[in-house]
Amino acid sequence: MQVCVFCGSSTGTGPGYLAAAGHVGRALAERGIGLVYGGSSVGTMGVVADAALAAGGRVTGVIPQSLVDREIAHPGLTDLRVVAGLHERKATMAEFADAFLVLPGGAGTLEELFEVFTWALLGLHDKPIALLDVDGYYQPMLRFLDHMTGQGFLSREYRDMLIVDTDVGRVLDRYADHRAPREKWSSSHGA
């Protein structure tokens, strides 16, 4: 199994973010789960990769050439795939992944989350997607998703497909129970 982790190219302001990233990297390696991530050596991205490698894990990074040119590619990965741009990066990471895990991060992390979330809604994949809610980081976004549901723009079935937990071990355990909702416009699915 390989889990794609989306997280920050920054470290955030609280020590909990770095600790969580390190814990995720170790937990994946200890369970024999490969890490797929954005290939960077900086931010929580670098921390999760370093922790997985230190624990003997397999780490595949996928990074655009423009970021390699800026010298932020991680030099010690099991496998580093250099791609042309960000769109190819996301598609390649998703292709390698059996599941997605989203740690706190910025706009790029949210963009990655919502792209794979949308792909799941459209039936383009049936892989589980989880948020690791470190120190309540994702609570405002989850309230907004509930607002979207209340306003009729997101069905409860799709809102509930996101696994949300504060413990990476429980997240990894919950992947086995994942059942994808029906594709949004299937003939058996109502509005």
- Domain ranges within the chain, ordered by starting residue: 2-174
pLDDT confidence bin for 123, thresholds 50/70/90:
confident
Residue pair 117/146 in contact (Cβ under 8 Å)? The answer is no
pLDDT confidence bin for 185, thresholds 50/70/90:
low
The pTM assigned to this predicted structure is 0.93
Residue 14 exposure: Cα atoms within 13 Å on the Cβ side: 10
The answer, yes or no, to whether residue 191 has pLDDT greater than 90, is no
Reported as a single tens digit per residue, the pLDDT across 126-178 is: 999 999 999 999 999 999 999 999 999 999 999 999 999 999 999 999 998 88
Place of tokens 């050439």: 65
pLDDT of residue 180: 77
Distance CA 135, CA 23 (A): 14
Reported as a single tens digit per residue, the pLDDT across 46-57 is: 999 999 999 999
Distance CA 35, CA 5 (A): 7
Domain 2-174: assigned CATH number: 3.40.50.450
The answer, yes or no, to whether residue 189 has pLDDT greater than 50, is no
Reported as a single tens digit per residue, the pLDDT across 83-105 is: 999 999 999 999 999 999 999 99
Mean pLDDT of 19-36: 98
pLDDT of residue 190: 39
